C-alpha cells in the first residue's frame, strides 16, 4: 500500500468516525449542532482524501462536477423554506440515488467496453445498486411531485395494481438472478435499470399525501442501501458504512411512522400501503357541533393555568405557527403554562412539526411527545386543537369499525375543555366523523386557522 | 466468496448495528434533522463518483461520473447547510438562553 493510499484510507476512517459521532450527537438537541459540524468536516476530509486517489488522472471535469453541485446545492440548503422540508428531502433522495445509479451504470459499461468480465459478487452488488438506485430515483421524484403538488396528491389506483407491482418486481428479481449467473448479459442489465424506474413510479402512485411520512422514510432507507451496494461494488468501506447508517435510519423511521399511522410492518416492507380506507358509515346521528366566538375563547384561554396546543398539518398549511406562539405568549404572560403536543405524524415527514415550531421560536422543552403528554391531558384546563383531525379522533380507541381503529392518538378528549380551530364542518383526511367535535366539552372556532388565531391573539391583548 | 467481500459484509453488519443503536435513541423532536443529516452523510457516494469521473476510462463513464459528482455534491453541500440551519433553530428555554428574543 502506497503512502497515498494510506492517507486516503485514513481520511475515510476519520470520516466514518465523525459521521457516527455526528449521528450520536443528534440524540440530544444541545449537542446536535456541533456534532453535525464535525461530521461536515469529516466529509471534507474524505473528499480531499479521494482527490489523492491514484485512479483520478484528469481533474478538470471533476471540478466542473463539484462546481455545478455546489451552485445547485447552496440555495437548496440556504433558501428552501422549512414548510417545504418534505419535498426538499424527497428530491435529495433522488440526487443521492441518481449518483449511485450512474456510478453503477458507468462501472458496468466500462467493464463491458474493456472486455474484463465482472465476477459474480461484484455483479450482484452492481445489480442491487442499480435496482435500488433507479427505483429510488423515480420513486423520490414522484414523491417530490406529490408533495410539491405538481402531481395530484390523492392516491392513484386501478384494478390489478398490486398484481402488476408484484409482476414487475418478480421480473426485476428474475433479471437480477440472470445477471448474477451470467454478468455478460448487457441487455438484461439495461432492462433491469429501466424496470426499476417503472417500479419506483408504480410504487408511489397509489400513495396519498398523508401517507408521505412513511414513503419518504422508506426511500431514505433505499437510497442508503443503494449507496452501500456501491461500496460493495467498488470495494469502498466508507460507502458501505454510510449506506448502512442511512439504511438503518430510514428503516427505523419508516417503522415508527407506520406504527403511528396504524399500518403494519409488512405493509412498510413491501410498500403496499396504497389502499384507501373505506369510509365507515357515519355513526354520529344529527348531533350539533357547538361553536364559540373568538372573544369568549380568548377570555377562557387568558385565565387558564394549563394549556396544551395540538398542532396538525392544517396549522402548517395556514402558515400560522408564529401566531400560535403569540397566543401562547399571551397565556404565559398571565402566568399560564403552555405545552405543545406533537403527534408523530403531525407533519408531512417525521419530526416536521417540531422544526416548524422551532422556527417560530418555540423552545424545544415545550414540545412534548405523544406518550408523555397523554398522561397529562386530564389535568389540562384547555386543549387547543389547530388544524388536526384524525390524530385526535377518539374513534381510534373506541370504535372497532373505524378505519383508524388502533391508531395511537392524542387523548385530547381527557382535557377539561377543548377548543378546535377548524376550517369548516367537513371531515378529516380519512373522511370519517370525529366524535371529539361533538363532545359537550368541545367548542369549535370556525374559519381559517390564521385569521382565527389572529382574532384570539388580539382579543387576548385587549383583555 | 473472496476475503474482501467477507470483510465488507462484516463492516456492513456492524455499521447497521451501530446505526440502529444510535438512531433508536434520537428523539422524535430531531427526526427531520436526522433525516437531512443521514442524507448529507450519504452524499459520501461522492467519493465513488469522483473516481469514476476522473479516471478517464471512456467517454460515457466520464460523463455519467461528472453528473454523479454534481448530484452527490448537491446532497453534501445542501444537506449539511440545511441540517445546520434547522439545528440552529432548536433552542432551550430561558434558563440557558441568553435573553430569549421573543
Over residues A81-103, the pLDDT tens digits come to 999 999 999 999 999 999 999 99
Q: Residues 56 to 75 of A: which have CB under 8 A from any B CB?
A: 56-59, 61-62, 64-66, 68-70, 72-75
Judge if A140 and A230 occupy the same domain: yes
Decide if A47 is inside a domain: yes
Residues of A marked as catalytic: 390
Contacts of B50 in chain A (CB under 8 A): 47, 50-51, 53, 56, 62
The pLDDT score that the predictor gives to residue A318 is: 85
Q: Are residues A47 and A105 in the same domain?
A: no
* In a domain? residue A282: no
DSSP A80: S
Q: State whether B58 and A88 contact (CB < 8 Å).
A: no
**Residues A59, A3: one domain?**
yes
- Domain range list for chain B: 3-90
- Cβ pair B23:A23 closer than 8 A: yes
Residue B41: its chain A contacts at CB < 8 A?
A: 19, 22-23, 39, 43, 242, 245-246
Looking at the structure of chain A, the number of domains it has is 3
Q: Are residues A302 and A335 in the same domain?
A: yes
Q: What is the DSSP letter of A291?
A: B
Of all residues in chain A, the one with the smallest CA distance to B43 is A96
Q: Does A400 map to a domain?
A: yes
Q: Do A107 and A17 lie in a common domain?
A: no
> Cell 452501500 appears where?
A228
B33 versus A263: which is more confidently predicted?
B33
Looking at A62, A79, A96, which one is the last position of a domain? Answer: A79
Return the number of other C-beta atoms located less than 10 Å from residue A113's C-beta: 13
Together in a domain, A408 and A356: yes
Secondary element (H or E) of residue A307: strand A306-311
* A286 domain-assigned: no
In this prediction the ipTM stands at: 0.92
pTM for the predicted model, two decimal places:
0.90
The pLDDT score that the predictor gives to residue A281 is: 43
Whether A69 and B66 lie within 8 Å, measured CB to CB = no
Owner of C-alpha cell 385569521: A451
What is the phi/psi pair of residue A444, to 5°?
-105, 140
Work out whether the CA dihedral A359, A363, A365, A370 comes out positive or negative. Answer: negative
The domain in which residue A442 lies consists of 294-462
* DSSP symbol at B17: H
Phi, psi of A108 (to 5 degrees): -60, -45
Domain boundary among A47, A79, A111: A79
- Yes or no: say if A308 and A339 are a contact pair by the CB < 8 Å rule: yes
Distance from CA of A19 to the nearest CA of B (A): 7
Place of cell 407506520: A258
Residues 6+ apart with CB under 8 A from A264: A258
Are A440 and A322 found together in one domain?
yes
* Contact status of B6 with chain A (Cβ, < 8 Å): no
Put simply, whether A236 touches B (Cβ < 8 Å) is yes
Mark whether A337 and A350 lie in a shared domain: yes
Choose the mutation target among A12, A249, A332 for the interface with B, i.e. most B CBs under 10 Å.
A249
Positive or negative, the CA dihedral A359, A364, A366, A371 is positive
- A285 domain-assigned: no
Q: Is residue A284 part of a domain?
A: no
* Residues A118 and A162 reside in one and the same domain: yes
Cβ contact A459:A417 at 8 Å: no
**Segment B22-27 mean pLDDT:** 94
The CATH number covering residue A452 comes to 3.40.50.1220
- For residues A23 and A113, state if they share a domain: no
Whether residues A244 and A100 fall in one domain = yes
Tell if the CB–CB gap between A103 and B64 is shorter than 8 Å: yes
CA nearest to B34 within chain A: A26
Q: Is the dihedral of CA A201, A227, B81, B88 positive or negative?
A: positive
Give the pLDDT of chain A (463 residues) as one tens digit per residue: 788 889 999 999 999 999 999 999 999 999 999 999 999 999 999 999 999 988 888 899 999 999 999 999 999 999 999 999 999 999 999 999 999 999 999 999 999 999 888 889 899 999 999 999 999 999 999 999 988 889 887 777 777 777 888 899 999 999 999 999 999 999 999 999 999 999 999 888 887 767 777 888 999 999 999 999 999 999 999 999 999 999 999 999 988 888 888 776 666 555 444 444 444 444 444 467 788 998 999 999 998 999 999 999 888 888 899 999 999 999 999 999 999 999 988 887 889 999 999 999 999 999 999 999 999 999 999 999 998 888 898 988 888 887 778 889 999 999 999 999 988 766 555 556 788 988 889 999 988 889 999 999 999 998 8
In a domain, A287, yes or no: no
Question: What is the distance between the alpha carbons of residues A362 and A364, in angstroms, rounded to a whole number?
Answer: 6
Q: Final residue of a domain: which of A218, A243, A276?
A: A276
CA distances from B31 to A100, A373, A408, A437, A441 (A): 24, 18, 18, 30, 34
Same domain for A452 and A310: yes
Amino acid at each position: 500500500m502506497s503512502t497515498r493510499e494510506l492517507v486516503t484510507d485514513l481520511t475515510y476512517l476519520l470520516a466514518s468516525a465523525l459521521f457516527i459521532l455526528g449521528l450520536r450527537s443528534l440524540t440530544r438537541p444541545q449537542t446536535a449542532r456541533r456534532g453535525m459540524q464535525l461530521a461536515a468536516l469529516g466529509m471534507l476530509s474524505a473528499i480531499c482524501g479521494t482527490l489523492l486517489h491514484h485512479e483520478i488522472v484528469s481533474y478538470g471535469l471533476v471540478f466542473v462536477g463539484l462546481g455545478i453541485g455546489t451552485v445547485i446545492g447552496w440555495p437548496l440548503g440556504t433558501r428552501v423554506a422549512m414548510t417545504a422540508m418534505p419535498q426538499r428531502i424527497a428530491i435529495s433522495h433522488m440526487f443521492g440515488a441518481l449518483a449511485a445509479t450512474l456510478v453503477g451504470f458507468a462501472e458496468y459499461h466500462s467493464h463491458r467496453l474493456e472486455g474484463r468480465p465482472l465476477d459474480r459478487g461484484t455483479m450482484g452488488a452492481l445489480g442491487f445498486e442499480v435496482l435500488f438506485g433507479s427505483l429510488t430515483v423515480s420513486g423520490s421524484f414522484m414523491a417530490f411531485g406529490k408533495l410539491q403538488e405538481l402531481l395530484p396528491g390523492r392516491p392513484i389506483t386501478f384494478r390489478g395494481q398490486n398484481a402488476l407491482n408484484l409482476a414487475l418486481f418478480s421480473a426485476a428479481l428474475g433479471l437480477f438472478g440472470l445477471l448474477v449467473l451470467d454478468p455478460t448479459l448487457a441487455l438484461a442489465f439495461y432492462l433491469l435499470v429501466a424496470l426499476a424506474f417503472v417500479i419506483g413510479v408504480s410504487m408511489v402512485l397509489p400513495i396519498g399525501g398523508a401517507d408521505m411520512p412513511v414513503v419518504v422514510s422508506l426511500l431514505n432507507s433505499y437510497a442508503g442501501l443503494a449507496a452501500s451496494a456501491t461500496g460493495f461494488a467498488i470495494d469502498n468501506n466508507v460507502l458501505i458504512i454510510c449506506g448502512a447508517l442511512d439504511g438503518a435510519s430510514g428503516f427505523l423511521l419508516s417503522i415508527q411512522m407506520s406504527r403511528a399511522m396504524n399500518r403494519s410492518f409488512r405493509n412498510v416492507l413491501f410498500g403496499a400501503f396504497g389502499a384507501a380506507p373505506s369510509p365507515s358509515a357515519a355513526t354520529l346521528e344529527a348531533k350539533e357541533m357547538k361553536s364559540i366566538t373568538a372573544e369568549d375563547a380568548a377570555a377562557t384561554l387568558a385565565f387558564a393555568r394549563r394549556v396544551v396546543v395540538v398542532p396538525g398539518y392544517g396549522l402548517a398549511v395556514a402558515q400560522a405557527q408564529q401566531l400560535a406562539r403569540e397566543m401562547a405568549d399571551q397565556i404565559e404572560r398571565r402566568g399560564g403554562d403552555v405545552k405543545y403536543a406533537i403527534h408523530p405524524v403531525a407533519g408531512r415527514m417525521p419530526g416536521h412539526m417540531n422544526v416548524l415550531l422551532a422556527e417560530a421560536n418555540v423552545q424545544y422543552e415545550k414540545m412534548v411527545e405523544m406518550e408523555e403528554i397523554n398522561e397529562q391531558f386530564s389535568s389540562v384546563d384547555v386543549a387547543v386543537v389547530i388544524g388536526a383531525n384524525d390524530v385526535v379522533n377518539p374513534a381510534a380507541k373506541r370504535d372497532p369499525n373505524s378505519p383508524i381503529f388502533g391508531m395511537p392518538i392524542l387523548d385530547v378528549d381527557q382535557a377539561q375543555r377543548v377548543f378546535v380551530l377548524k376550517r369548516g364542518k367537513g371531515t378529516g383526511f380519512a373522511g370519517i366523523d370525529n366524535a371529539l367535535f361533538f363532545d359537550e366539552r368541545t367548542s369549535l372556532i370556525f374559519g381559517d386557522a390564521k385569521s382565527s388565531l389572529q382574532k384570539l391573539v388580539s382579543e387576548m391583548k385587549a383583555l | 466468496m473472496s476475503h474482501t467481500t467477507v470483510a465488507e459484509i462484516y463492516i456492513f453488519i456492524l455499521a447497521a448495528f451501530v446505526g440502529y443503536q444510535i438512531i433508536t435513541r434520537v428523539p422524535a423532536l430531531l427526526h427531520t434533522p436526522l433525516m437531512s443529516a443521514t442524507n448529507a452523510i450519504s452524499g459520501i457516494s461522492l467519493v465513488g463518483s469522483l473516481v469514476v469521473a476522473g479516471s478517464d476510462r471512456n467517454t460515457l463513464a466520464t460523463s455519467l461520473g461528472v453528473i454523479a459528482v454534481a448530484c452527490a455534491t448537491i446532497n453534501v453541500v445542501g444537506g449539511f447547510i440545511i441540517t445546520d440551519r434547522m439545528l440552529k433553530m432548536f433552542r432551550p428555554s430561558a434558563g440557558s438562553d441568553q435573553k430569549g428574543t421573543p
